[in-house]
Structure 1
Amino acid sequence: MPCSPAKARHLLKEKKAIVARRTPFTIQLTIATGETKQPVSLGVDAGYKHVGLSASTEKAELYASEVELRQDVSDLLSARRALRQCRRNRKTRYRTPRFGNRIRTKRKGW
């Protein structure tokens, strides 16, 4: 759980914590903490264009973020589909026709 910078300095000085990451500054406790847990509730607002996340206790909000979802995926898939269809329907002069890749030509009796 979050703590103040003074508390973090105190824990680091007494070797009760180590620096886990520098950006964002995160410490990891090296001592046993017991069974005390802080109740945190997670809120998710799943929308079509935006997704909102929030983690909060009864006193304060610990984390809040908003993610903007991509809206261009459908258009990109349509463009890819059109290009694929153009490749399939293209009349090439010197390419041999592809008739040898059917099941009937590979196995007898089909």
Structure 2
Amino acid sequence: MPTSRHGKVKHLLKNGKAKVVRRTPFTIQLLYDSPEYTQPITLGVDAGSKVVGLSATTEKKELFVSEVTLRDDIPELLSTRRQNRRTRRNHLRYRMARFLNRTASKKEGWLAPSVKHKVDSHLKVIGNVHRILPISRIVIETASFDIQKIRNPEISGTEYQQGVKLSFWNTREYVLWRDNHECQHCHGKTKDRILNVHHKESRKT
């Protein structure tokens, strides 16, 4: 269990009754038999797509808190790899085209690399806390937001199918109306009578 008695920790290390097993967070392991009594500890996990928040608490105080930032460059790296692979194949004159040979994506339970990284990272950080604290309960916070409920707290039933785009032919017409038929780049400075909608697509996709 965590302790704030730093003098006792120093005494145990000096007399060889404990050893350091981790520097960050500073963790020691006792080298003699001790009572197995532990306090119930609850680990709260704020699961997120970019940041994971962790907080281990007892009934009286917070013992451990951390914030882990997840990687967000995996889709970009995969796109770069795909582009480089296509470039190499275009320079191989007699190499046959390869289609549908990625067997990994056909396996049951397969996840995209970016999603798999997020899942594995959540499990890893939770496991790291388990190694230093006797966690008895885990609470994971998963938040889902009802955008239409935020706009109209009284909405219910079929009203969800009658959103702001109901009277428009398609999303394009709704966006033009939403922006008051004004270019979002120049904001009407060019005074063009015809508003064009441009679609940008990455060459890596």
- Per the normalisation by structure 2, the TM-score is 0.40
Instruction: Report the CA distance shift for 1:54/1:22 in structure 2 as closer, same or farther (over 3 A).
Output: closer
Change in Cα spacing, 1:16 to 1:58, as seen in structure 2 (3 Å) is farther
CA contact (8 A) 1:42 1:56 kept: yes
Answer 1 or 2: which has greater strand percent: 1
Read off the aligned partner of 1:2 and give its amino acid letter. P
The count of residues paired between Structure 1 and Structure 2 equals 94
Aligned to 2:84: 83
Displacement of 1:10 in angstroms is 4.8
Percent of aligned pairs sharing the same letter: 52
Which protein is richer in helix relative to its size? 2
- 2:17 corresponds to which letter in structure 1? A
Structure 2 equivalent of residue 18 of structure 1: 18
Tell me by how many angstroms 1:18 deviates.
2.1
Q: Report 1:5-84 matches (<5 A).
A: 5-12=6-13, 15=15, 17-21=17-21, 23=23, 25-84=26-85
Deviation at 1:78, TM superposition (A): 0.4
What is the distance in 2 between the residues matched to 1:85 and 1:2?
54
Q: Secondary structure at the match of 1:32?
A: coil
CA–CA separation in structure 2 for the residues paired with 1:16 and 1:98: 66
Alpha-carbon shift at residue 43 of structure 1 (Å):
0.9
Unaligned residue ranges in structure 1 (runs of 5+): 100-110
What is the distance in 2 between the residues matched to 1:29 and 1:90?
Answer: 62
Cα 1:30–1:81 shift into 2, 3 Å? same
Q: Do 2:19 and 2:28's aligned partners in 1 also have CA atoms closer than 8 Å?
A: yes
More relative contact order, 1 or 2 (CA 8 Å, 6+ apart): 2
Per the alignment, residue 102 of structure 1 pairs with none
C-alpha change, 1:7 and 1:58, in structure 2 (3 Å) is same
Computing the radius of gyration from Cα coordinates, the structure with the larger value is 1
Computed over aligned residues only, the root mean square deviation of the Cα atoms, in angstroms, reads 2.5
